């Protein structure tokens, strides 16, 4: 059952992501400001690739497949940084984008909670894997925590804006 629900959820995530990409590329193309989208992608891709080469899961799959899986986990944890950087520069976020990033933040919080519950349910046995030289599991938890904290700030301002009745979220200026 657990494998089936993950497959369904992954499929729903893929469909919703494709819908968002379609909306951004075709329906909302006029709202894109290329001058503000200047964060080099290698800032997030290169560290993720290096980490994936060093720390990846130990499974029966080929090493390259394990490294790709690890790269996806690490990249996902920081992939929202270019979007947040761009939103920080614009200072005002449109409702469609704000709702999407907030939903992403809630999903990441729930994902992080899932891994923390896994550690709790195992009575901390997963954490003992580090002592056995198996650092992949703690790295997954760390990646979830990093992404949760990255999105927590945005979610705070989103909720604050909604509570004040604002349709457009505004972020404070960077210090």
Please write down the HEC assignment for all residues of the chain.
Answer: CHHHHHHHHHHHHHHHHHHHHHHHHHHCHHHCCHHHCCCCCHHHHHHHHHHHHHCCCCCCCCHHHHHHHHHHHHHHHHCCHHHHHHHHHHCEECHHHHHHHHHHHHHHHHHHHHHHHHHHHCCCHHHHHCCCCCCHHHHHHHHHHHHHHHHHHHHHHHHHHHHCCCCCEECCCCC
Whole-number pLDDT of residue 13: 81
Residue range 19-47: mean pLDDT, rounded: 83
Whole-number pLDDT of residue 97: 77
What digits encode the pLDDT tens for the residues 93-117? 777 778 888 888 888 888 888 878 8
1 — pLDDT class (breaks 50, 70, 90)? very low
Whole-structure pTM value? 0.72
> Of 137, 111, 105, which is closest to residue 124 (Cα–Cα)?
137
What digits encode the pLDDT tens for the residues 118-153? 878 887 776 666 655 577 777 888 888 888 888 888
Whole-number pLDDT of residue 131: 57
């Amino acid at each position: 059952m657990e494998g089936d629900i993950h497959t369904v959820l992954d499929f729903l995530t893929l469909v919703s992501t494709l819908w968002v990409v379609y909306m951004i590329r075709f329906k909302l193309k006029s709202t894109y400001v290329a001058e503000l989208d200047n964060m080099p992608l290698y800032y997030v891709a290169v560290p993720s690739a290096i980490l994936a080469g060093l720390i990846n899961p130990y499974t029966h799959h080929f090493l390259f497949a394990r490294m790709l899986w690890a790269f996806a986990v690490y990249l996902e944890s920081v992939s929202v940084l270019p979007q947040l950087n761009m939103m920080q520069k614009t200072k005002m976020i449109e409702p469609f984008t704000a709702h999407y990033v907030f939903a992403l933040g809630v999903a990441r919080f729930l994902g992080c909670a899932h891994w923390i519950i896994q550690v709790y349910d195992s009575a901390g046995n997963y954490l003992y894997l580090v002592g056995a030289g198996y650092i992949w599991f703690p790295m997954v938890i760390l990646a979830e925590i990093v992404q949760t904290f990255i999105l927590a700030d945005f979610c705070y301002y989103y909720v604050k804006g909604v509570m004040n009745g604002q349709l457009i979220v505004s972020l404070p200026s960077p210090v």
